Amino acid sequence: MIDIGTGPALVLIPGIHGRWEWMNPAVTALSKEFRVVSSSLPGEPGGGAPVSPGSGFDAFVGYVDGLLDARQIPAAVMCGVSFGGLIALRYAAQRPERVRALILVSTPGPHWKPTPHQQADIDRPLLRSPLFAIGAARRSWGELRVTYPNLVERIRFCAKAAPRVIRAPAVPWRMGVRARMAAAERFDRDCARITVPTLVVTGEQDLDRVVGPDDSMSYVTAIEGARYQLFENTGHLGTISAPERFAMIVSRFLNG
């Protein structure tokens, strides 16, 4: 668990890879204005005991409870990135008294189900992991060409990001377990229970090839009063490729 910065408390929930270390640039940028609390997801090193698929997706509610209780925080802003947004959404629906605001970043939509290609990755995570890694690298490089038009800056970003990924590797079978848990849920029911200010953030339409922005934008109509913010010149990596701009988006929403 990491607890850094001062100011209003903000819980930053990582994506399906499960490691908070991947989001360190966002943690650092946000900590200039907020008290940022984050942790790897259950089952990952430092994330506590694994969540059993049989326990259902609600087990992640206990994970967030644990973060707040460990730091004696009565309520906080919930900010979930990609898969982490589904956890933040479920928590805001079930623990409204502990959530001051909700921020969903490139989050799969309320009716998300895996595509046939994604389902193949979920069913055979180890066998498909080389193809997944190659596809992820190709998608990321295409996005970074827009975020960092200068080749030297692009290479510099990759050189800084690579050690974080190597030190905190994603484990395919654990990602598959989380994906299956999410696929079994109906998150549209959670949307109807959200009562806190909500911001939906997506990257550019043609840059996010992991979660379609149109899918994420479904939350704007599904959650009453939700606002939308385009994260320009980014796709799915904006929180780490442009962390200062991401922190500015969060700050404007919470202070505006």
Q: Which helix (H) or strand (E) holds 32?
A: none
**Beta pairing class for 35-38 and 2-4:** antiparallel
| pLDDT one-digit tens code per residue, 231-240 | 999 999 999 9
How large is the average pLDDT for residues 29-45? 95
Give the tokens for residue 142.
């295409």
| pLDDT one-digit tens code per residue, 94-122 | 999 999 999 999 999 999 888 887 788 77
C-alpha 252/C-alpha 256 separation (Å) is 5
What is the assigned CATH class of domain 2-255? alpha beta
| pLDDT one-digit tens code per residue, 209-251 | 889 999 999 999 999 999 999 999 999 999 999 999 999 999 9
Q: What is the pTM of this model?
A: 0.94
| pLDDT one-digit tens code per residue, 121-142 | 777 777 777 766 777 888 898 9
User: 87 has which bridge partners?
Assistant: none
Residues in the chain: 256
Using the 8-state DSSP alphabet, how is residue 10 labeled? E
| pLDDT one-digit tens code per residue, 170-199 | 888 888 889 989 999 999 999 999 999 999
